[in-house]
Amino acid sequence: MKNLRFASLVLGLALLASCRQEPQTEAIATDAETSFEYVVDQFADLRILRYRVPGFEELTLKEKQLVYYLVQAGLSGRDIMWDQNYRHNLAIRKALEQVYTQYEGDRQDPQWEAFETYLKRVWFSNGIHHHYSNDKIPAGFSPEYLREVLTATGAVLEGEAFEVIFNEADSKKVNKKKGTDNTLASAVNFYGPDITDAEVEAYYSAADKGPEGRPIEIGLNTRLVREGGKLTEQVYKVDGLYGPAIAEIIGWLEKARGVAENPQQARTLELLIDYYRTGSLDTWDEYAIAWVNSTEGNIDWINGFIEVYNDPKGYKGSYETIVQIKDFEMSRQMAVLSENAQWFEDQSPLMEEHKKDNVVGVSYKTVIVAGEAGDASPSTPIGVNLPNNNWIRVEHGSKSVSLGNIIDAYNQAGGTGRLREFAHDSTEVELEMAYGELGDKLHTALHEVVGHASGQINPGVGQPKETLKNYRSTIEEGRADLVALYYLMDPKLQELGLVDDYRKVGMAAYDGYIRNGLMTQLIRIELGDDIEEDHMVNRQWVSAWVFEKGQPEGVIEKVERDGKTYFEIRDYDRLRELFGNLLRETQRIKSEGDYTAAQELVEGYGVKVDQQLHAQVLERNARFTSAPYSGFVNPVYELVTDPATGEVTDVVLTQPASFEAQMLDYAARFSFLTGE
C-alpha cells in the first residue's frame, strides 16, 4: 500500500497556463471509501461530478471572505466566455432557458427529452459547439418543435441565431486544419465573421509589440473587427467590449482587495482591477509580475483572458478564473521537482544550444480548488502554469499548480473497466493498478514544472504563435509531454524519494500513454473524424512517431487477438531513447521556428485516424456506461451576517442539488451581457 499512500501525497500534478492538462480517458478508482456523492448527472457523452473543498472550514473568516469575493468575481464574467465562444450563444442560451423553465407542455415527449439533453450539452460547453471536438452540437429535435416551444413560452429566437442550430453554418468553433483559412472557418467570436488569416497576420505583424525582448501579448484581450472598411480592435474593458460584466468583476475584486491577506496580494488585486478598467496589456504584464511574486498567504487565484487554444491564430485569450486554497503537505512533497528543475534541464537530450543555463523560479504547489468559471468550468483542467508571457517566465518565474481535489474527484468517480478491455494482458493491468495513478501524476508534474520550463528559442527567432502558427499549441504540449516521458523512467525520481520503483512507475506510465495515444482517446471522437483538439493531436503524434520508428526493432508490437487490437511495449529502455530523440527534434522545431517540420510531424502522425481501428475501439467501448468526458458543478458559497449589525460572521459552503439547478441559478444571478 506504500505506492497508494505516495500517490495521495503526489496528488495531481499539473498546470494550466501554457497548457491545459486534462485527465486521461481511463480513471482508476482509489480504495478510499466515502459517503460523498461525486456523480451528479450523466447525459450524451458527458458526466457531471462534484468536488470537495477540504480545509475550507479551517480558514479564518477573512480568508473565507476572500474566497467568496473571488468566486463571485469569477462568475460575474461567465457571459464573456459564452460570447467569446460564438456570437449567438447568449441569445440562444437565454431563449432555451426560458423555454426550459416555463414550458407547461408534455415533458415526456421524445423531442422534449432531446431538447433537454441539448440544453445540458450547451450549458456544459458554454455554447453550441462541443467543448472538445469543436463541432456544432446536433439538436436532436426539429425546427418546428423548437418554434412550438418558443411560442408556448413567449421566448424569442429568430433569424441566424435560430437557423444556426439546425443548418451547416458555423459548423466548427475552432478549425486549425491544414489548407484552410482557419480564421474564416472558425466560428469563435474573436474576429469579425469576414476576417481572414492573411488580414490577422498582417494586422498583428504591424502591431506595436512593446519593448524589445519584453513583448506584450498583442491581441490578448480584444476582438478584431472591420469597421468602416478598416480593421480595428474592440478592447475588453469597463468602458469597452464586455463592459457591464467587467464592471461586476471589478466590484467583487475591490471587495476582495479589502480582505487581502497581505500588502503584496492587495497590490496584485489592485493591478488586476486597473487592467480590467483600462484594457492595457502593459498593466497586464505588470499584474502578471506582481502575481507570480505574490507567494505569501493561503488563497490564490487565476483570473483574466488567458489561454489562447480557442483562437486559431493563437492571439486571443479566453476568459477564465480558478480560485485556489493552498494544500501545504502535498505542496511540500512536490517542491523537490521545482528545486531540481535545473538538473533535469542539464541532463536532457536537447541540443546544447537549446538548453537554458538558468531555469528561473519554477514554483510547484498542489492546491484545492474553491471555485471555477469561464473556460475552466464545467470542463476543468487538472493543473495550471502561469503566466504565459515567455519573458516574464524567464525573468520572474512562474507558478505551477496541481488541482488536487479535482484530480481526487476524477479518481474517486472512476473505474477499471476500460483498462481491462484495452490493456494487452494481466501484467499491464497489474502495473497500472499498482503504479498508474502515481505515474500519471508524476507525468503531469514533470510536464508542467520541467517540461514547460525547459528549452529556449534561438536568438532572432519569433514567438511560436508567429513561427509555428496553428501548430504552436500542439507542438508545445507534445514537447512538454516528451520531457515528462523521458524522465518518468529515470532513477533520479527514486533518488529524490518520489517513487519506490522508478522502472515500474515508468513502465506503467509508458503503457498508459501508448494505450491512450493510439487507442483509447479515440472514444472521444466520432467515427470518420480527424483528431483536431491540440492535446489529443499531440498524444497521437508522439505515440505514432515512436511506434513507427521503433518498428524495425520491435519496440512496440501491435497485437491482434480474438479480433481485438492491443499494443505491447517490448523494450521500455529503447522506447525511452525514442522519446528522447523526438524531444530533441521537437525542441529544435520550436527553437528554430521550423514551420515545415512542425506541419510534417503533426499532419503526418497526429491528425489522421486508422478508421478500422477507430471503429473497433468504439465497438469495444460501447458496453461501458461511463461517459468519455467529465466536468463539474461548483460549490455554492453564502455569506452569513449578523442581523443586528450586518457584519459578516461566516461563509457557508454547500453543494448544488443538480447540474441544471446550478446553471439556472447562474443565469439568474450572473447574466450581465445581452449578446446580439
pLDDT digits (tens, 9 = 90+) for 139-151: 999 999 999 999 9
Question: Are 21 and 115 part of one and the same domain?
Answer: no
Share of the chain above pLDDT 70, in %: 93
How is residue 31 annotated by DSSP? Answer: S
pLDDT at 9: 28
3-state secondary structure 104-166: CCCCCCHHHHHHHHHHHHHHHHCCCECCCCCEECCCCCCHHHHHHHHHHHCCCCCHHHHHCCC
Q: In the listed set 630, 645, 660, which residue is the last one of a domain according to the structure? A: 630
With contact defined as beta carbons under 8 Å apart, do 416 and 486 qualify?
no
The number of folded domains in the chain is 2
Taking CA atoms, 526 is separated from 132, 149, 522, in Å, by 12, 30, 8
Question: Are 523 and 450 part of one and the same domain?
Answer: yes
Say how many Å lie between the first and final Cα of the chain, rounded.
57
Give domain status of residue 228, yes or no.
no
pLDDT at 365: 82
Q: In the listed set 609, 630, 651, which residue is the last one of a domain according to the structure? A: 630
Q: In the listed set 147, 170, 193, which residue is the last one of a domain according to the structure? A: 170
What DSSP element (H or E) covers 334?
helix 328-339
pLDDT at 1: 27
If we measure between CA atoms, which residue out of 564, 569, 557, 540 comes closest to residue 612?
564
Give domain status of residue 626, yes or no.
yes
Question: Are 150 and 10 part of one and the same domain?
Answer: no
Question: Are 120 and 6 part of one and the same domain?
Answer: no
Give domain status of residue 190, yes or no.
no
What DSSP element (H or E) covers 91?
helix 89-102
Give domain status of residue 97, yes or no.
yes
Question: Are 441 and 552 part of one and the same domain?
Answer: yes
Spans of the chain, pLDDT less than 50: 1-18, 27-33
pLDDT at 8: 29
If we measure between CA atoms, which residue out of 291, 298, 234 comes closest to residue 64?
298
Give domain status of residue 266, yes or no.
no
Q: What does pTM read for this prediction?
A: 0.79
Give domain status of residue 674, yes or no.
no
Give domain status of residue 483, yes or no.
yes
Question: Are 156 and 13 part of one and the same domain?
Answer: no
CB atoms within 10 A of CB 491: 11
If we measure between CA atoms, which residue out of 516, 567, 565, 572 comes closest to residue 539?
516
pLDDT at 404: 87
Sequence letter at residue 570: R
Question: Are 14 and 162 part of one and the same domain?
Answer: no
Question: Are 27 and 98 part of one and the same domain?
Answer: no
Question: Are 23 and 99 part of one and the same domain?
Answer: no
pLDDT at 628: 85
Give domain status of residue 69, yes or no.
no
Give the 3-state secondary structure of residue 651: strand
Domain that holds residue 148: 89-127+137-170
Taking CA atoms, 483 is separated from 168, 370, 385, in Å, by 41, 30, 16
